[in-house]
Structure 1
Amino acid sequence: MSAAGRARRGAREVFFGWWIVLGGIGIQILTSGLMNQAYGAYVVTLQAQFGWSKTAFSIAYALQQVESGLLGPVQGWMLDRFGPRLVMRIGIMLLGGGFMLFSQINSLPMFYVAFLIMAVGMSMAGFVSLTTTLINWFERKRGTALGIMQTGGAVGGLLVPVVAWSLTTYGWRATAFGSGVAVITLGLPLVQLMRHRPEDYGLLPDGVKPAHLGEWPPPGGESIISTSAIDRIDFTVREAVRTGAFWFLSIGHGLALFIVGA
C-alpha cells in the first residue's frame, strides 16, 4: 500500500498525526539520551584519557549553539522545499556517522570536527524539524501534540545510566560507535513516519473530517482537500520580518536560550 493509502486508512482509525508524534518521541529519546544528556559522561572519560581542559569542551558546546543559530534559516527553507523526511534522513545519517567518527578521534581538532557533524545531524533530525512537522498536522490540538512529543527528551535521560555503564564496561570508543549504529538503525525507521502536510494525503489538521465523509476520492476527483474550514493566517518570510510580533518572539526566545545555555 502506498504512503498516501496508509495515511488515508489511518484517518479512519487513528489520525496519522499521532503516529508522527510517536515517531517524534522516539527520535527525541535517541538524540537527547545519546548525545545531549550523555555529553557530560563522555567529557569525564575524555578528560581522563587526553587531559583536555573544561574550556576545550565548553568550546565544543559553544560551537553547537552557533551551528544551531546559523543552520536554522537554511533548515527552515529545506523543510518547506523538500519536506521533513529527506531533511531528517540526512540528519540521522550525519548524527550516526558523526558518532562513528567520534569513536576514532585522537586529537582535539578531530573532536571538534566530529562533534560539529553530530550537532548538525541532531539539529536536522531533532526539535526544529519535528516541531515544524507537527505544526502542519495539528492546529486545535497543537499544544497537546507538541507537549507529548517533547516528553521524549525527558525520557531520553533514562539512557544516560546505560551510556555511563557502557563507557565503564566497553570503553568510550565502542560506546560511541554503538551509539552511531543505534541512531541509524532505529532513527531511519522512525523518520519514515514523518509526513510534510496532511493535505498532501487528503487529510485535514487534527483529523477533522472532510465534507465528503466516507468518500475517496471526493466528488470531482480532488486529491487534496482544502483547509478553508479551518482559520489560518500564513505569512511569507518577507511579510513575517516586517511584523513586530516576529521580532518580539525571536528576541525573547533568543534571550531565553542564551540564559539556559549559559
Structure 2
Amino acid sequence: MGALKFGKLYYGWWIALTALAINAFLSGPTYGSTGLWIDSLEKEFGWGRTQLAIAFTLGQFESGIVGPFVGYFIDKIGPKRVAMMGVAIVASGFLLLTQTAPIGDNPSAIFSPLIFYIAFSLIMLGNTMGGFIPMMVITNNWFTRYRSLAMAVVTLGFSLGTFIIVPIMALLISPNVLGWRNASLLVAFIAIILPILLWKVVQDEPTAPNHVRQFKTKENIPFRKTKPLKTFDFTIYEAIKEKSFWFMGVGHGASAMLTATMMVHLILAFNNQGLSLELSALMWGIAMGIGGIGQLSGGIIGDYLPKEVCNWFFGALQALGVFIAVFVSNIFLAIIFAIVYGIGFGARAPLTTSMRGEYFGRKSFGKIMGVSTIPMTVLCVAGPWITSILYERTGNYESGFLLIGTAGLIGSFLFLICRKPVHPSLKSS
C-alpha cells in the first residue's frame, strides 16, 4: 500500500496532522479520562482511590522502563512500525478492561483490582509505543525550520483529545448511556481500525518514496523564509554526558508530573469540591482545549524566542494553575484554573521536545527521547501516588496539590540553567 497524496502542501504537515489525530485518540480515553474510569470502578466495586491510582502508577513505571527500549526499536525498525504495534496493544488493553472484576472477596485488598492493573498497564504500554515518542521522532525527522510549530501541532493531539473526547467519555461511561464496560469496548474497536490510518499516511522520514526533503521545497515555508538551523547529531552516549540533558529531563518531568496528577485526580478533586462529575470533566476538557491554543502559540513563540526562558515561564504558569485548583469551588474559579493551567501546559509541551531536538539533533533522537523518559517517569509515578495517599489521610486534595505544584515550580527553573551543548567533534577540534 502506498502513501496517500495530498497535493502540493509539504507532506510533513500532513504527517503532523495525522500524528495529531493519533495522539488525540490515544490520549483522550486513557490519560484524559483516567479520573472517569477510577470514579466508575470506585462506585461499582468499592475500591479506594489509592488502590486504583496504583494502576496509573504501574503504567507510568512501566512506561519509564519501556521508554528507552521503545527508542531503541524506533531507531532499529522505524517509528511507524513501533506505533502500529503500540496501537494494537492499546486495543487489547481496552478489551481486557471490559472484563474487570474483583479478585477475591476483600475489596480493600491491594490485588483486588488486579485485572484493572493489567489492563491499564497494557493501555499505557501501547500509548508509550504508539503515541508521543514515535510521533515526535517522525516529526523531528521531517522538520528543521519550523520544528517547534510542527511539534506543537502534534502535541495538540493531547489537548484536543481531552477537550473533545473526555466530555464524550463522561457521557458514554454513565450507566444511563453505555456504561464503562461498553464504552471500553467501543474504544477498543476504534483502536483496531487506527493502524490503517498509520499505514496509509505516515512515512518515517522525507527520504521515503514520492517525497523530497523539506529544504528543497517552497511549500514548507508557511510564514517567512529563514535559514535552516545548523544542528549536530549526538549519540545517546554523548547526550547523557551533558548536564543539560538531565536538567531538561528533570524539568520536563516536573511539568509532566503536574499533568499526570491532574489526569488522575482533577476531575475527582473538583467533584469533591462541589462541582458535578460531568462539569468537572468539562472543565478539564476546557483546560486542555485552551492548552491546544497554547501549544500552537508555544510552537510559534519557540521559533522566535529563547526556548530556555519560554520553558521556565510556561512551566511556572502551569504550576500556578495547580495552586489555583486547590481553591476551585464554583464554575468561575474552575474557568480561571482552565485558562491559567491550559496556557502553561500547552505552550510548554512542544517547546521542551523542540528544545531537545535542537540540542541533540536527529540521528539518535528516538533513543534520546526514550532515555529522557526515565526522570519523567519517576516524577509521574510519584505525583499521583503521593496525592492519593494525602487524600486518603486528609479527605481533600489541598496538601497534595500544593506539594506537587511547588515541585513543578522548582522544576521549571532548571530550564534557565540549560545551555546548548557543544558537539564532541567540535570540542576535539
How would you bin the TM-score normalised by the shorter chain?
0.7 to 0.9
Q: Give how far 1:189 is off.
A: 2.4
Residue among 170, 184, 190 paired with 1:164: 170
Residue among 23, 44, 58 paired with 2:39: 44
Residue among 112, 119, 122 paired with 2:127: 122
The separation in 1 between residues aligned to 2:20 and 2:90, in whole angstroms, is 17
Distance change >3 Å, CA 239–CA 202, structure 1 → 2: farther
- Partner SS, residue 176 of structure 1: helix
Residue of structure 2 equivalent to 1:191: 198
Q: Which moved more, 1:250-259 or 1:121-130?
A: 250-259
- Alignment: residue pair count: 238
1:79-133 per-position Cα deviation (integer Å, ceiling 9, x unaligned)? 1111112101111100011101100111311110111001100111111111111
Give the structure-1-normalised TM-score. Answer: 0.83
Runs of 4+ off more than 4 Å: 202-205
Q: Give how far 1:2 is off.
A: 3.9
Distance change >3 Å, CA 260–CA 162, structure 1 → 2: closer
Q: Percent identical across equivalent pairs?
A: 30
- Partner SS, residue 207 of structure 2: helix
Asked if the contact 1:100/1:177 (under 8 Å) is kept, the reply is yes
Which residues in structure 2 correspond to 1:1-150 (within 5 Å)?
A: 2-3=2-3, 13-107=8-102, 108-150=113-155
Q: Which amino acid aligns with 1:118?
A: I
RMSD of the TM alignment (CA)?
A: 2.1
Is 1:233 matched with 2:240? no
Q: Give how far 1:230 is off.
A: 7.1
Structure 1, unmatched stretches of 5+, are 211-228
The separation in 2 between residues aligned to 1:164 and 1:202, in whole angstroms, is 43
Give the structure-2-normalised TM-score. Answer: 0.52
The separation in 2 between residues aligned to 1:181 and 1:154, in whole angstroms, is 22
Asked if the contact 1:25/1:149 (under 8 Å) is kept, the reply is yes
Larger RCO of the pair (alpha carbons < 8 Å, separation 6+) = 1
1:164-185 per-position Cα deviation (integer Å, ceiling 9, x unaligned)? 2212212111110111101221
Distance change >3 Å, CA 205–CA 65, structure 1 → 2: farther
Q: Which moved more, 1:64-73 or 1:247-256?
A: 247-256
Q: Which moved more, 1:245-254 or 1:22-31?
A: 245-254
Asked if the contact 1:141/1:206 (under 8 Å) is kept, the reply is no
Distance change >3 Å, CA 233–CA 203, structure 1 → 2: farther
1:221-260 per-position Cα deviation (integer Å, ceiling 9, x unaligned)? xxxxxxxx87331111222222233232223323333454
Distance change >3 Å, CA 230–CA 197, structure 1 → 2: farther
Structure 2, unmatched stretches of 5+, are 103-112, 219-227, 261-382, 384-429
1:21-78 per-position Cα deviation (integer Å, ceiling 9, x unaligned)? 1111111111121111112111111111100000011111111221221111101111
Q: Which moved more, 1:162-171 or 1:120-129?
A: 162-171
Distance change >3 Å, CA 152–CA 64, structure 1 → 2: same
Asked if the contact 1:15/1:206 (under 8 Å) is kept, the reply is yes
Residue of structure 1 equivalent to 2:316: none
The separation in 1 between residues aligned to 2:91 and 2:244, in whole angstroms, is 37
Q: Give how far 1:207 is off.
A: 5.0
The separation in 1 between residues aligned to 2:197 and 2:86, in whole angstroms, is 12
Residue of structure 1 equivalent to 2:395: none
Residue of structure 1 equivalent to 2:424: none
Distance change >3 Å, CA 146–CA 36, structure 1 → 2: same
- Partner SS, residue 106 of structure 1: coil
